[in-house]
């Protein structure tokens, strides 16, 4: 049970980070575009 909870939390965290990353790419600044290429 504890393992499943941790997995769920990690997944939520990843979704948060993805949303934040997408928010950054909206600006489409060269550094962000460069960062996207590296991902």
Q: Is the dihedral of CA 13, 16, 18, 20 positive or negative?
A: negative
Note the pLDDT of residue 3: 93
Note the pLDDT of residue 25: 67
Note the pLDDT of residue 22: 78
pLDDT tens profile 1-39:
699 999 999 999 999 988 888 777 666 566 655 666 665
Rounded to 5°, the CA angle 20-26-31 comes to: 85
Tell me the domain boundaries of the chain: 2-38
């Amino acid at each position: 049970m504890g393992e499943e909870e941790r997995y769920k939390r990690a997944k939520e965290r990843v979704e948060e980070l993805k949303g934040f990353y997408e928010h950054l790419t909206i600006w489409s600044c060269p550094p962000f575009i460069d960062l996207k290429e590296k991902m």
